Amino acid sequence: MRDILPALHHWYADSAPFGLATVVGVSRSAPRDPGAAMAVGPGDEVVGSVSGGCVEGAVFELAQEVVASGEARLETFGYSDDDAFAVGLTCGGEITLLVRPVTPERDPAFGAVAESVLDGRPVTVATVTDGPAPRGATLAVWPDRVSGTLGAPGLDVAVTADARGELALGATGVRHYGPHGERREDDVSVFLHSFAPPPRMLVFGAIDYAAAVARVGDFLGYRVTVCDARPVFATPRRFPPGVEVVVDWPHRYLRGTVTDERTVICVLTHDPKFDVPLLEVALRRPAAFIGAMGSRRTHDERAKRLTEAGLTDADLARLRSPIGLDLGARTPEEVAVSVAAEIVALRWGGSGTPLTATRGAIHPSP
């Protein structure tokens, strides 16, 4: 959704109706996660994808139909052996899509939501997918305000509370309620789509490897900051546009920086006077990934110093060192791919094993 929002915002500002299809449920080896979106706008322009090409033709027609009728639709696509020409997913999975028309009259908050997401401000959009409440009705929930309604005050109150909880976690998924927001009923299905600010990647050590890691981090959707105490290396021209470059002692900068459970910390300083004080701070704060570059000998010496500084075995177990997966990487760009591969594997519980050597679903159910 983030990728196609600029186009949607433009259509919305021009009061051009468009059909928006959003993945609200998946099972087995589905190609896209909940929140993936595709839209059909003026002149039959298409942006986004919900399946990587398997069902986009059918979704294109659905989007046109909901714009013409003004009624949202809930459709499920799966795999069928019975008809080789049937629309479905060749991967064997199943996706459920909510396809709804969007106009300023039907969704007055859409413009404000788009602006918040594009500006990196947190917001959750709650949309009715099924049940006695109006399908396609939306409620936009910010940390300090709401806009819209799902059709019943009690339902709005319950969903608002849950939406703010999901937003704090950066989580997206379906919740179930009674018609008036009753917690123990499941008559109404509501899709909560959280747009938390992009997670941060903190890269320490402005060396050539850092430029490559920063580039890959930016590609993966992280808000990247590179920090080094040496101003001769920490210069913006050595890094991709959009990457923040800070001149400061790494441990001092990290101590004054907010991190959370999504933050990635890559220590590439490769110098004990920088990386030991830095890791002493990093391993005592929340982060999704903490990795450090260096040989196995460097790692052993670093671990000894960190233990002497008071870190426990549990603290050190969080450290991914030497950083990266074993890809045989040599160049800075190859090393960056190795680092990114380990970050992705840790995030989703992947093994790093070649798929040819594994069995079962390629994309496990969330």
pLDDT tens track for 347-366: 888 899 998 998 876 655 44
User: Are 210 and 224 contacting, i.e. CB atoms less than 8 angstroms apart?
Assistant: no
Q: Hey, what are 256's tokens?
A: 């004054």
Q: pLDDT category, 30, cuts 50, 70, 90?
A: low
pLDDT over 90, % of the chain: 74
**pLDDT at 28 (0 to 100):** 66
**pLDDT at 146 (0 to 100):** 97
Arithmetic mean of pLDDT, 98-120: 94
User: Are 162 and 192 contacting, i.e. CB atoms less than 8 angstroms apart?
Assistant: yes
Question: With left for phi above 0 and alpha for psi between -120 and 50, is residue 48 left, alpha or beta?
Answer: left
> Parallel, antiparallel, or unpaired for β 173-177 and 146-148?
unpaired
**pLDDT at 95 (0 to 100):** 87
- Of 49-53, 278-282, 344-348, the one with minimum mean pLDDT is 49-53
**pLDDT at 91 (0 to 100):** 53
Angle, alpha carbons 227-229-232 (nearest 5°) = 95
Q: Report the distance separating Cα 279 and Cα 302, nearest Å.
A: 9
> Parallel, antiparallel, or unpaired for β 200-204 and 188-195?
unpaired
Arithmetic mean of pLDDT, 85-100: 69
pLDDT tens track for 246-265: 999 999 999 999 999 889 99
CA of residue 319 relative to chain centroid, distance: 23
pLDDT of 53 higher than 80: no
Angle, alpha carbons 152-165-347 (nearest 5°) = 135
Phi, psi dihedrals of residue 362, rounded to the nearest 5°: -70, -40
Q: Hey, what are 240's tokens?
A: 């991709």
Arithmetic mean of pLDDT, 160-180: 89
Cβ-based neighbour number of residue 277 at 10 Å: 19
Arithmetic mean of pLDDT, 49-56: 81
**pLDDT at 165 (0 to 100):** 85
Q: Report the distance separating Cα 314 and Cα 302, nearest Å.
A: 15
pLDDT tens track for 292-342: 999 999 999 999 999 999 999 999 999 999 999 999 999 999 999 999 999
Q: Report the distance separating Cα 98 and Cα 75, nearest Å.
A: 7
- DSSP of 235-284, one letter per residue? -GGGS-TT-EEEES-HHHHHHTS---TT-EEEE----HHHHHHHHHHHTT
